[in-house]
Structures are given as C-alpha cells and as structure tokens.
Amino acid sequence: MNSPETLFQQRVDAEIKIEARDWMPDEYRKTLIRQISQHAHSEIVGMLPEGNWITRAPNLRRKLILISKVQDEAGHGLYLYSAAETLGITRDQLFDQLHTGKAKYSSIFNYPTLTWADIGAIGWLVDGAAIMNQVMLCRTSYGPYARAMVKICKEESFHQRQGYESLLALSKGSAAQQKMLQEAVNRWWWPSIMMFGPSDSESTNSEKSMLWKIKRQSNDDLRQRFVDATIDQARILGVTLPDDKLKWNEERGHYDFGEIDWTEFWNVVKGNGPCNKQRLEARVKAWNEGEWVREAAMAHAEKRKKKAA
C-alpha cells in the first residue's frame, strides 16, 4: 500500500488541489503557513508607505484611487489570513508572529516613499513584480490559497496599470515632474527586483516548494521575466533604469542585468532596512489601539449568537 506521503505527492502531480481537511505532510503545512502569512503581512504592511500619501495626493481623482488601492491591500491581507487559518493557526498567533519579528514580510516595504512619484513607482514596479510572482500562485497546489490569489491578481493588475498611468502623466509634465519620476525609478528599481527573493542557488525553500507545486517558477526565472517585461515600459515613460549592465542578450533571448546587492537585501530582510523599525512600530501601535474594537466586535458577535440560540 502506498504511504500517505506518496498518495499526497500523486495528488499534487495530478493537479488535484489539496484542501484544508486533506492529509498533508507537516512540512507542507508549515511551508504554506510561512509563505501565506508572510504574504498577508506584506499586504498590510504595504498599506503604510502608500497610506502615508493619501492626505498629500495631488488631486481628488488621485486621492480616490489611492484610498481604493490601500483598501484593496487590506482586503488581500484578509483573504490571505483566512487562507492561513484553514491550516490550523489562529489570527492572533499570526499577528503575534508579525509583531514579535518572527514572521517576515516583503523587503520592499522597508523603503520610504519620499515623493508623490514613489506612489506611481510602487504601482508600476512593486505591483508589477508582485503580479509576475503571484500569477503562478493562482495555480498553487493548496486550494484556499489558489482561490484567494485569483481575486488578488485581478486587483493587482489594476493597481499596476494605475501606477503606470500616474507615471505617464508625470512623464508628460514639467521638467521638475520628470526629474521626480526619474528619481523615484532610481530608488525603486533595485528593491523591486529584490522582491523575488534570493537567487536560486541560495533559495532554501524553493526545491521543496516546487516539488509540492506551491511555487511553480523559480525566483530567478520570475525576476528575469519581470526585467524583460519592464524595459519597454520604461522606454515609453522616457526613464532610464539605474543599471548600466542592462543589455539585450541575443543568445539567451533575455536582458542581462547587473549584480543585485545581496548584502543590502539580507540586511533589509533581517530587520535593518531604512524603515523596518518604523513599520513594525506602526503595526504594533495599530494592534494595541484597536483592542477595544476587537473586544466590541467579539461581544457583539457573542450577543447575536446567544440571541439566535
């Protein structure tokens, strides 16, 4: 008779989704909780650098769009926390892991948003990189994660377009606006390509995640696809990308690009980036100050339950 591990792998290989009540190896469960919660935390920490510009958006239209986008990120966080909970971890435990620094969130959100152009650059490059990484997750082997990702990807595509459209407006603006645009692109380019994670040779989780079809493409493959897709978009914006090694390679059929500063990447991942401390403090403060809201909501739910009983 086949072992549960073999039957599990056969299901995965046959592209049958794994659901919450199905048997799964402990490591699969752990990997999913780690990745989904990291993803959820990224969504809600990602609201901070953008939310920072809501009061300073240049006009009503841009303000409305930004409010909606930040609200969408909160929604993504909620779908993902719910997906993680199906694996047997509670919402409180997930938040505790974030607040104590045990769980990671994407390195990208530890960089500051210095000008309005940074908001456009986040939409274009950060959401762009996120989509490149996340489209494969719509087909991830765990059902609740895959289903959450379908809606998230639709919204992220819209975010990417609105970011690009706002940069297009700056590109047609005054010399000062064009300068602001170029400077934002200079700041966000390298952190965006770092979002895909360490190179394949350094990626500790990829091999197992690919075997279990949690991930379907490697960090380096996705990073390359992102670079290839972005170059023409930069040309249309009239900006240069801050990498003098970017060059079409006929033989590979891809763009070559310069070496990533991995020291900077690991520094940010380990908590020493420009805004790590500030981001975590903001989340912990929101959690503490929201305690009365959680208590009131739970009391209300209890009351309704009793009434219905």
Per CB under 6 A, residues contacting ligand BYC are 34-35, 38-39, 42-43, 46, 73, 104, 106-107, 122, 126-127, 130, 133-134, 194-198, 203-206, 209, 215, 219, 269
Cβ-contact 67, 2 below 8 angstroms: no
* Nearer residue to ligand BYC within complex by CB, 130 or 167: 130
Chain position whose Cβ is nearest to ligand BYC: 46
Half-sphere exposure of 234 (CA within 13 A, CB side): 21
Residues in the chain: 309
- Comparison of 248 and 262: residue with beta carbon closer to ligand BYC: 262
| Closest distance to ligand BYC from the beta carbon of 107 (Å) | 4
Residue 64 is encoded by which pair of tokens? 């409305």
Q: Please, what is the minimum distance in Å from the beta carbon of residue 300 to ligand BYC?
A: 30
Helices (H), 135-174: 143-171
Q: How far is the CB of 59 from ligand BYC (least distance, A)?
A: 21
Residue with Cβ nearer ligand BYC (158 or 178): 158
As measured in angstroms, the least distance from the Cβ of 303 to ligand BYC is 35
Q: Which is nearer to ligand BYC, 42 or 177 (CB)?
A: 42
The pair of three-digit structure tokens given for residue 211, joined into one six-digit string = 């075997």
> Are 155 and 76 within 8 A, CB to CB?
yes
Instruction: Decide whether 34 or 225 has the Cβ nearer to ligand BYC.
Output: 34
Smallest distance from ligand BYC to CB 95, Å: 17
Of 220 and 228, nearer to ligand BYC (C-beta) is: 220
Q: Which residues pair with 255 in a beta bridge?
A: 248
Shortest spacing between CB 109 and ligand BYC, in angstroms: 7
CA distance 261 to 245: 14
Cβ 299 to ligand BYC, closest distance in Å?
32
Minimal distance, residue 130 CB to ligand BYC, in Å:
3
26 or 250: whose CB is closer to ligand BYC? Answer: 26
Max Cα separation, the chain? Answer: 72
Q: How far is the CB of 36 from ligand BYC (least distance, A)?
A: 8
DSSP 164-192: HHHHHHHHTS-HHHHHHHHHHHHHHHHHH
Pick 71 or 249: Cβ nearer ligand BYC: 71
Ordered alpha helix ranges (H), 86-142: 91-99, 116-121, 128-134
**What end-to-end distance do the CA atoms of the chain give, in Å?**
47
Q: Which is nearer to ligand BYC, 154 or 179 (CB)?
A: 154
Type and span of the H or E element at 256: strand 254-256
Q: Which helix (H) or strand (E) holds 203?
A: none
In angstroms, what CA-CA distances link 147 with 42, 137, 140? Answer: 18, 9, 9
What torsion, rounded to 10 degrees, do the Cα atoms 50, 47, 129, 274 define?
70
